[in-house]
Amino acid sequence: MIRRKLLATAVFVAVGTISIAASAQTQAPVQASQARIDINGDDYIDRSEAAAMPKLAERFDALDTDRDGRLSRQERPVRNMQGGRGRMAAVARARMARLDTDSDRRISRTEAAAGEVNFAERFDRMDVNKDGFVDREDRLQRAKQRGGEWFTRADTNQDGQLSRGEFDSARSNRMQEMRNTGRAPRAQ
Q: Is residue 41 part of a domain?
A: yes
- pLDDT tens digits, residue range 117-127? 788 888 998 89
Counting the structural domains of the chain, the total is 2
Residue 127 lies in a domain: yes
**In which residue ranges of the chain is pLDDT below 70?**
1-36, 78-88, 182-188
Distance CA 141, CA 139 (A): 5
pLDDT at 25: 45
pLDDT at residue 128, as a whole number:
92
Q: Do 17 and 90 sit in the same domain of this protein?
A: no
One domain, residues 59 and 95: no
Q: Is 101 in contact with 111 (CB distance < 8 Å)?
A: yes
pLDDT score for 183: 63
Q: Classify residue 169: in a domain, yes or no.
A: yes
pLDDT (tens digit, 9 = 90+) per residue, 102-116?
Answer: 889 899 988 988 877
Alpha carbons 79 and 84: distance in angstroms, whole number: 5
pLDDT value, residue 127: 92
Q: How far is CA 159 from CA 138, 144, 156, in A?
A: 29, 20, 8
In the chain, the amino acid numbered 24 is A
Same domain, residue pair 132 and 49: no
Domain encompassing residue 154: 86-181
> Residues 61, 22: one domain?
yes
Look at residue 76 in the predicted model and tell me its pLDDT: 77
48 and 109 housed in the same domain: no
Do 90 and 172 fall into the same domain?
yes
Pairing of strands 133-135, 106-108: antiparallel
